[in-house]
Structure 1
Amino acid sequence: MNRRTVLEATLLGTALAAAAPADAQTTPPQPARQSRVTARDGTSLFVQDWGAGRPVLLLAAWTFNSGIWGSHIVALNAKGYRCVAPDRRGHGRSDMPMTGYDLDTLTDDVAAVIEQRDLRDVTLVAHSMGSIEAVNYLARHGGERIARLVLVAPTTPFLVQTEDNPDAVPKPMIDAQNAAIAQDFPRWMGENEAPFFMLDTPEVTRAWIREMMLSVPLPVALACRRTISFADLRAAARGIDRPTLIVHGDKDASAPLELTGAKTAALIKGSKLSVYEGAPHALPLTHSARLMSDLLAFMAA
């Protein structure tokens, strides 16, 4: 670039600046959203925060991180929604403390995200383990900031068999599953992979999920699994007074419909249960288009 070209470019820039409205010259740039939220115990939580408009908070499944919601975030942003998706402590890019994997601490982490991002009129979407955090959030922190609730293949209301919960999973069976995970997590994943996906789920997707799950430290994975198993959220579900959509596959081997989604729907007054025929547990992956359609319709109602 020669001196004349530089001079012309400088003069043009000066002229454009002079012609611009005064407020355009003085308005400071908007601060960028930070990728971190600090939990009550100081744990740093990684948060994806994309788009503008009414917020949708996306909570992931056991050993999944916020990356699972990528295509949903893009689709919701295109429809004018803001999407906020945290990595649970011990997962993804969040800190990995030795403690804090009990239900109330995990729930308070969700509250920290909502409060520090000042989210209001929120559609709370929770897959699998995320459902216990979502339901407990409404019981523990109230529904002032929550407009509606979507539970995708939930593990609520209570998985373990007790005298007052006879049609559930016997504790010895839960203990045996946890022992198998503790002994050889990759092998356990391989033995349980087939019913988690659809037959046409690509290998690249399966490999991505295996890598995601194995990236979670085993003590964290086991602690979270124990929290899922023994979280009794029957009373919390009965207290929900927000419009609620529950989506569940009738071939879900991880959280069978009759033990989880159907029982949760029976407890939440006025909730709608949508059953996907032939669908497994990984609905955000295997049935993403249908799930997105149902979600958009529910939020527009």
Structure 2
Amino acid sequence: MPYYESPVDGTRLHYVDHGPASGAVAVFVASAYLGHEMWEHQMLPLAEAGYRCVGLDRRGHGRSDDVWSGYDLDTLADDLQGLLDHLDLRAATLIGHSVGTAEVVRCLTRHGSERVARIALVCGVAPGIMRSQGLPGGVDPALARADEEFFRRDRPAWFTHFADAFFAVSSAGNEVSDAYVRHLVDRCLVATPRAATGVRSVVTGLDLTAELPAVDVPVLVVHGTHDTSAPLAHTGERLARLVPGAVLRVYENAGHGLFFTHARRLTADLRQFLGAAAATAAVTGICRMLAAAGIGG
């Protein structure tokens, strides 16, 4: 299985690399608690369509090493940049879900866009969901503390309790089997208790308001109207306003788990977005060849 070492502390991090090496590159960053497998309904069809799909298991998640430290946003963003460097990826499209969107944004604002052509932010918690001076409409911190107590007391019960809301099963068209819910809960429990609580701390302390305007690549924002984990008005809509030129696509009735309930639509939107990235990369490649040959200004 492929691994690389974190540039921060040498933590061994697992990734998958599917599809043709010559295809336009998509790098998938998962939600909290989950590894790259959450993206199966996007990565498999996109790889079969000729795109190179790379999926990362963040530290303490999936098959990556169980470590005590490094669950701050800067380190997680450095881990992501380390993967781009390890594979020497160019003109990559970064695709993040939930807290993964924060890692994608911080990776760009911390390391620049030399290796990144564009980003897709799906059901993001960015710019932040907790009430603060910069986010006055956010969630009451007292509610977050009560939720944290429940989570620490009984993680399996917490995941099971919120599964229906995660997929917005009470909304029209959102059909999820009991078997898939059990599967996803099992995958969430693979994340170590330390990793799970560490990433939760990233979410409760998140405020990317000041750095989002500095994002200098095309941005696709995808969000559901019934996302209770990251309410549209406080996250997706606000995110799209803060990033210059961002495109917002709102999925009616979709919840936080739209990567499953709206899998085909999301995959189609990502494929269209990746197609634009491939066209940009082709033009850039031609310009570089012309420059190397001394043609052009």
TM-score (norm 1): 0.86
Distance 1:36 1:189 in 2: 28
What is the CA distance between 1:190 and its match in structure 2? Answer: 2.3
- RCO comparison, higher one (Cα < 8 Å, 6+): 2
Corresponding residue to 2:86 among 81, 99, 116: 116
SS in structure 2 of the partner of residue 115 of structure 1: helix
Sequence identity of aligned pairs in percent? 37
Please say if 1:295 is aligned against 2:270.
yes
CA RMSD, 1 decimal: 1.2
- The aligned residue for residue 28 of structure 2 is 58
Distance 1:200 1:51 in 2: 29
Distance 1:103 1:287 in 2: 28
Residues 33-52 of structure 1 deviation map (CA, whole Å, 9 limit, x = unaligned): x6001002010000101122
For structure 1, the 5+ residue unaligned runs are 1-33
What is the CA distance between 1:300 and its match in structure 2? Answer: 2.2
Contact 1:246–1:261 (8 Å) recurs in 2: yes
- The aligned residue for residue 3 of structure 2 is 36
What is the CA distance between 1:184 and its match in structure 2? Answer: 1.3
In our comparison, the structure showing a higher alpha carbon Rg is 1
Distance 1:272 1:95 in 2: 36
Corresponding residue to 1:251 among 226, 244, 265: 226
- The aligned residue for residue 6 of structure 1 is none
Residues 238-293 of structure 1 deviation map (CA, whole Å, 9 limit, x = unaligned): 11111111000000011110111111101001001100000010111111100011
What is the CA distance between 1:88 and its match in structure 2? Answer: 0.6
Give 1:45's aligned amino acid: L
For structure 2, the 5+ residue unaligned runs are 277-297
What is the CA distance between 1:191 and its match in structure 2? Answer: 2.0
Please say if 1:234 is aligned against 2:204.
no
SS in structure 2 of the partner of residue 49 of structure 1: strand
What is the CA distance between 1:75 and its match in structure 2? Answer: 1.0
What is the CA distance between 1:151 and its match in structure 2? Answer: 0.5
SS in structure 1 of the partner of residue 135 of structure 2: coil
What is the CA distance between 1:71 and its match in structure 2? Answer: 2.9
Give 1:209's aligned amino acid: L
Please say if 1:149 is aligned against 2:116.
no
SS in structure 1 of the partner of residue 195 of structure 2: helix
Contact 1:160–1:168 (8 Å) recurs in 2: yes
What is the CA distance between 1:70 and its match in structure 2? Answer: 2.1
- The aligned residue for residue 13 of structure 2 is 45
Give 1:111's aligned amino acid: Q
SS in structure 2 of the partner of residue 234 of structure 1: coil
Give 2:220's aligned amino acid: L
SS in structure 1 of the partner of residue 191 of structure 2: coil
Runs of 4+ in 1 over 6 A off after TM superposition: none
Please say if 1:195 is aligned against 2:165.
yes
Distance 2:90 2:127 in 1: 26
Residues 67-95 of structure 1 deviation map (CA, whole Å, 9 limit, x = unaligned): 11223222111221111101010011100
- The aligned residue for residue 39 of structure 2 is 69
Distance 2:5 2:94 in 1: 20
Deviates further, 67-76 or 132-141: 67-76
Distance 2:185 2:134 in 1: 36
SS in structure 2 of the partner of residue 248 of structure 1: strand
What is the CA distance between 1:231 and its match in structure 2? Answer: 1.9
Residues 190-230 of structure 1 deviation map (CA, whole Å, 9 limit, x = unaligned): 22111112352011111110101112122221111011221
What is the CA distance between 1:109 and its match in structure 2? Answer: 0.4
Distance 1:157 1:66 in 2: 23
- The aligned residue for residue 291 of structure 2 is none
Please say if 1:223 is aligned against 2:223.
no
Please say if 1:96 is aligned against 2:52.
no
Q: How many residues align?
A: 268
